[in-house]
Amino acid sequence: MGQFFNVQDLGAIAPELELMLFGMILLIADLLVEDKKWLGFIALGGTAWSGYFLVRLHGVEVSAYSGLLNIDQFAWFFKLLFLLAAALTIVISLKYLDIEREHHGEYYALIMFATMGMMFMAGAMDLITMYISLETMAIATYVLVGFLRGNQRSNEASLKYFLLGAFSSGILLYGMSLLYGIAGSTRFGDIADALDQRSLGDPISMIALVAIAAGLFFKIAAVPFHQWTPDAYEGAPTSITAYMSVAVKAASFAMMVRIFLGALSPLREHWVVILTVISILTMSVGNIAAMTQTNIKRLLAYSSISHAGYILLGLIAGNATGLTAIPLYLFAYTFTNIGVWAVVVALRRKDIIGEQVDDLNGLIYKQPTAAILMLIFLLSLAGVPPTGGFIAKYYLFAGLIESDHSKLAVIAVLNAAVSVYFYLRIVVAMFMKESNEKTGLALSPGIVFALAVALLFTLWIGFYPDPFISLAQAVF
């Protein structure tokens, strides 16, 4: 047995174990604690403690469980990202769940489990490990999307997300089985070696590649596999939408990068073509569809689709600059997006659904600070300097130019310019329209905290990105 497991390996997955432990504690505590807010604090403590273990693992490079999991800079970075996203999600959920009258302990437990799944995804170097951790994350997320039991849209969203998610997992699994057939092993390294042996146009490898790519495109919500996204994002509790748009998306990208740059690296020539087409479609459809949305959650869903298209550019460029761009982009995007979603969460007030762009009308009169923060976040999403979003986009475009993808770069920057249109629609509502109602945002201390953190990082990355660039450069 020693070959497969030794005690040190437990230390390597300590952060994940911590989350699991806290997930279970939360389930039990739910029975005992009357004021569910405390459960949120316990969950926060869980992420903090897990974070503590993670920080202690910084710089450690080991391969645990005889190569099933890698503890490396890549995994470390993404795990950090997931923990931050989870913590910020919990913080913005506290009051929101009260307003929705759905404050239950499972909510936090599920976030713990989903985050744990993501953290394993980031470390997985093996198809089986990858798939199981993916499903751990996905199943927890399906439940979270349908968490508003009394709300039809939430149920519908959950069902759609579940069906399409299961379907895409099936396709992914099909591709994985083919890879196993080719390599006789589930390890990424073995698969890469086996693919390397075969000719480049080998049909089996191609089918495997297409199936895996399609499954992954579902997960990152790339066009034309994106239809579930607006519905799921709209129906889910807003705090969970925030979580999905940052953490779930980042985890899917981590998985994609691991598989494409690990197992499928010999097929690079083929997948670059696929990714180029998908990336152009994703950016353009996402941006164009976002223009006409009146529901802010759907608008941001389409915006999040188009951002997936941008991130793919990093993989297409494939050089150091482009690869640095992926973690950098995800990092900047996480904070910016949490900021935007925190404002949308605060739009949900007692007796006001607050999901339309119009609900932000005249925010500048009611809560000028919130309006200005939202403006900064939107500019960051649009990639206007001096914000984190600009630095991240800069890296992507620089990667493309450096690797001689000038035409793609032109398409990408034009898309970035066009995207400003719908972000500015929100700005127009906030700054240039009269408000329809007197009630301001439901700003709880948690949301204020999340906004402050989001602002700090959005501007910090924008003004002084050096530390974050080195963080991102260390990833690969």
Told to check if 473 binds another protein by CB under 8 A, we report yes
Selected from 38, 41, 52, 421, the binder of another protein by CB under 8 A is 421
Q: Single out the segment in contact with another protein by CB under 8 A; choices: 185-193, 343-351, 352-360, 386-394.
A: 386-394
C-alpha closest to that of 469 among 320, 322, 324:
324
Binding segment for another protein (CB under 8 A), chosen from 257-265, 293-301, 355-363, 397-405, is 397-405
| 179 vs 379, beta carbon nearer another protein | 379
Task: Give me the least distance between CB of 427 and another protein, in Å please.
Answer: 8
Residues 397/283, Cβ–Cβ less than 8 Å: no
Report the nearest approach of another protein to the CB of residue 433 (Å): 9
Among residues 33, 386, 460, 474, the one that binds another protein under rule CB under 8 A: 386
Q: Helix axis angle, 249-258 relative to 127-145, nearest 10°?
A: 170
Position 384 contacts another protein (CB under 8 A): yes
> To the nearest whole angstrom, how small is the minimum distance from the Cβ of residue 411 to another protein?
11
Of 367, 321, 362, nearest to 342 by C-alpha is: 367
Give the count of residues interacting with another protein (CB under 8 A). 31
Q: Is 168 within 8 Å of 152 (Cβ atoms)?
A: no
The least CB distance from residue 442 to another protein, in Å, is 23
* Interface region with another protein, contact rule CB under 8 A, candidates 83-91, 162-170, 187-195, 389-397: 389-397
- Does residue 428 bind another protein (CB under 8 A)? yes
- Which pair of structure tokens corresponds to residue 452? 């402050």
The residue within the footprint of another protein, chosen from 173, 401, 443, 474 (CB under 8 A), is 401
Q: Which of 394, 449, 460, 476 binds another protein (CB under 8 A)?
A: 394
Q: CB of 251: closest distance to another protein in angstroms?
A: 26
* CB-nearer residue toward another protein: 189 or 385: 385
In the complex, the smallest distance separating the C-beta of residue 2 from another protein, rounded to whole angstroms, is 44
Q: Which is nearer to another protein, 91 or 416 (CB)?
A: 416
Task: Kindly state the smallest distance separating residue 355's Cβ from another protein, in Å.
Answer: 22
465 binds another protein (CB under 8 A): yes
Please report how close the Cβ of residue 14 comes to another protein at its closest, in angstroms: 32
Interacting residues with another protein (CB under 8 A): 364, 379, 384-386, 390, 394, 397-398, 401-402, 406, 409-410, 413-414, 416-418, 420-421, 424, 428, 431-432, 464-466, 469-470, 473
